[in-house]
Amino acid sequence: MIDATAHDEKRGGFGGLHVIAFESRMAAETRALIERFGGRAMVAPAMAEAPIEDNPAAFEFADRLLAGGFDVVIFLTGVGVRELFRALDGRYRREDLVAALRGATTVARGPKPAAALRELGVEPSISVPEPNTWREILAAVDELAKIAERRIAIQEYGTANHDLCAALEARGAVVTAVPVYRWTMPADREPLRAAIRAIVERQADCVLFTSSHQIANLMRQAADDGALPQLRQGLNRAAVGSIGPICAAELRARGIEVDIEPAHPKLGHLVKAAAAQAPAIIEQKRKSALAGARMAAPQARTQKGGEADISPLYARADHPLLRACRRERPPYTPVWLMRQAGRYMPEYRRVRERHSFLEMCQRPELAAEVTVTAVERLGVDAAIIFADILLPLLPLNVGLHYEKGDGPVIDRPVRRAADLERAAPLASAEALGFVGDAIKMTRTALGDRKPIIGFAGAPFTLASYLIEGGGSRNYQATKTLMYTQPDLWDRIMKMIVRVTGDYLNLQIEAGADLVQIFDSWVGCLGPDDYRRYVMPYSRATIAAVRSGTPVIHFSADTASLLELMRAAGGDVIGVDWRVDLAHAWARLGDGVGVQGNFDPIALFADTGEIRRRAKAILDAAGGRPGHIFNLGHGILPETPVDNVRALIDIVHELSAR
């Protein structure tokens, strides 16, 4: 029994990790145990018992047993003992069989077959000690005198135990296998498929096996789906637990490392051991994957180092997110979150404690690490590269820095022609190569499993920081400049368009699959101003993006500007929660995708409310091709991580088609 208190179980537990188990008979108990230890359970039955109804081998066994033809009978499972006698019931008298068994040496592999034998009225001569592998059976049988030439029957449990047969035969015994039932694939294979998918896509942190047949069937299904190598890679990236040595040997024989084995081969002990060990194991595996990525980064495209050789279930171009960008119908609604790699995440805060925000952006290995961690922790459908929309202002020498609590500050804002003349010649995306390096490292770490999103600020939002010198409430300096010095405005905007276009293409060159343009603050303008002072520049920026790369055009608080934003460009328009998604899409028309629009503050509600709201958004999208689920704006630093993970799971679950 497990003796930890509920409190200890949670504290020392899975901590919200995704745990997959394959139990059939004990599915409900397994789920409850995993959840009790703080895991998110996915239990996918991997096998079904198919009794061999017309079983000539069983009849042959009975005939020989009754004729005194066996000296030793080994029973491997409790279910098997009962099933065997049930199959024989129609043809043989049970008391005759029992009497014959009492005349032989009966070996029970453990307490379960022993109990089944006692039910029949047979006290087993030998009960094999834990961990009940073939080695303990062999040791027990070896104790018997004159093993050579003994006639031994082995009640099998699905597949033959070749090791045991071979070892007994090597000792001169005559071995007869008695197959009782076989394991088949479950009638409904979909849960098994879903588990394979989750493992391949790295959405399973811990995978638990409780019988070797589960392994065989899992591998068989993966082979049927053409995903065997990916499954193996996915398993070796997760923390893998095996209930006992038989199961562990089967895993190792199939090239899968076993990370967790409990002291006793029992379900409760396995889950408890996994809860205690899995978090550290996956942290360790993630670190070494990133180390591999670091080493391989300079030649990321040509060298198969680190994790570069991971191949996913589908080509990257067919990932659901990229299919949504093309307004095709993906198998589920893809989801990622603006600011998914940020302060709400303890892993981020740990890195941030040791490095300034700008240092994190400028050191590709740190940027890649937090980018990848967010993807792995959340199970989102894309990585957005860790960077900032203001980075293109760095080379302008305007004194960009980030103040704790206050956000970005620009010491020398651009408000006059002379300011621009100083800054403009310095404007170049070349200084931003570190973002490209971070994308390459992220690609190496993620392989082809997830698309990478590059991003930049839209010209208006970037200009507002440059002119205001930081965040703003009324955009007084920006709008005043726009209204009073339209030529200067035009030159500032053109400079930004040039750098931003180059910067986006640099990210695409490095491996970004799509880009998002953030016009976070353009909602402070009315439609006329947007048309005149913003639209030409946003359009030019989007047009500069290398063709073939999808563009998401995002803004907030722009209910009055949606049609104009659509006209400015983008394959997908990002909308916030202030608009009804169905209405917004009706206004935008079917020729464009829509991203959004969950209120980030609703992540502070309970999961029931989160579910209700996610469903409302999916219903509003109505399965129309081209919906990408996202927040209406970035995640706030105080957001509970568990709710963020719950949202991702909910979207995947509710939208599966």
| Residues 411, 407: Cα–Cα separation, whole Å | 13
Tell me the closest approach of the beta carbon of residue 552 to ligand CP3, in angstroms: 11
Q: Which segments of 107-175 does DSSP mark as H helices, in order?
A: 111-120, 134-142, 162-170
**390 touches ligand CP3 by CB under 6 A:** yes
Tell me the closest approach of the beta carbon of residue 240 to ligand CP3, in angstroms: 30
Identify whether 465 is a catalytic site residue.
Answer: yes
User: 3-class SS at 59?
Assistant: helix
Containing H/E element for 527?
A: helix 527-529
Q: Which of 386, 475, 577, 598 binds ligand CP3 (CB under 6 A)?
A: 386
Containing H/E element for 595?
A: strand 593-598
* DSSP assignment letter at 432: G
Q: Which CB sits closer to ligand CP3, 387 or 423?
A: 387
Q: Which residue has the tokens 């009497």?
A: 99
**336 touches ligand CP3 by CB under 6 A:** no
| Ranges within 485-544 binding ligand CP3 (CB under 6 A) | 518, 520
> How many Cα atoms sit within 13 Å of 170 on the Cβ side?
8
Identify whether 352 is a catalytic site residue.
Answer: yes
Query: Which residue in 506, 471, 455, 475 sits closest to 630, CA to CA?
Result: 455
Q: Which of 213, 286, 294, 339 binds ligand CP3 (CB under 6 A)?
A: 339
- At a CB cut-off of 8 Å and minimum separation 6, what does 464 contact? 472, 475, 478, 521
Task: List the structure tokens of 627.
Answer: 């919906």
**Bridging pattern class, strands 181-184 and 206-209:** unpaired
**340 touches ligand CP3 by CB under 6 A:** yes
- Which of these ranges, 196-204, 401-409, 478-486, 610-618, lies near ligand CP3 under the rule CB under 6 A? 401-409
**8 A C-beta contact, residue 73 and residue 97:** no
**189 touches ligand CP3 by CB under 6 A:** no
Of 232, 343, 539, 587, the catalytic one is 343
**402 touches ligand CP3 by CB under 6 A:** yes
Of 339, 443, 613, 645, the catalytic one is 339
Alpha-carbon 154 to chain mean position: 42
What track of x and - describes contact with ligand CP3 for positions 590 through 629 (by CB under 6 A)? ----------------------------------------
Of 71, 381, 388, 419, the catalytic one is 388
Q: Which of 41, 137, 207, 341 binds ligand CP3 (CB under 6 A)?
A: 341
Q: Which residue has the tokens 């009962």?
A: 82
Identify whether 343 is a catalytic site residue.
Answer: yes
Q: Which of 182, 285, 326, 352 binds ligand CP3 (CB under 6 A)?
A: 352
Q: Strand ranges (DSSP E) for 206-360?
A: 206-209, 239-242
Tell me the closest approach of the beta carbon of residue 360 to ligand CP3, in angstroms: 7
Q: Which CB sits closer to ligand CP3, 233 or 464?
A: 464
- Which of these ranges, 49-57, 126-134, 268-276, 332-340, lies near ligand CP3 under the rule CB under 6 A? 332-340
Task: List the structure tokens of 398.
Answer: 């305007």
| Residues 248, 258: Cα–Cα separation, whole Å | 6
Task: List the structure tokens of 507.
Answer: 């990210």
Residue 564 identity: L
Of 135, 352, 412, 531, the catalytic one is 352
**59 touches ligand CP3 by CB under 6 A:** no
Q: Count interface residues toward ligand CP3 (CB under 6 A).
A: 23
| Residues 630, 617: Cα–Cα separation, whole Å | 10
- Which of these ranges, 125-133, 386-394, 497-505, 507-515, lies near ligand CP3 under the rule CB under 6 A? 386-394
- Which of these ranges, 72-80, 268-276, 339-347, 486-494, lies near ligand CP3 under the rule CB under 6 A? 339-347
Identify whether 339 is a catalytic site residue.
Answer: yes
| Residues 360, 367: Cα–Cα separation, whole Å | 6
| Residues 197, 225: Cα–Cα separation, whole Å | 10
Q: What amino acid positions are annotated as catalytic residues?
A: 339, 343, 352, 388, 465
Positions that interact with ligand CP3 (CB under 6 A): 338-343, 352, 357, 384, 386-390, 402, 407-408, 455, 471, 518, 520, 633-634
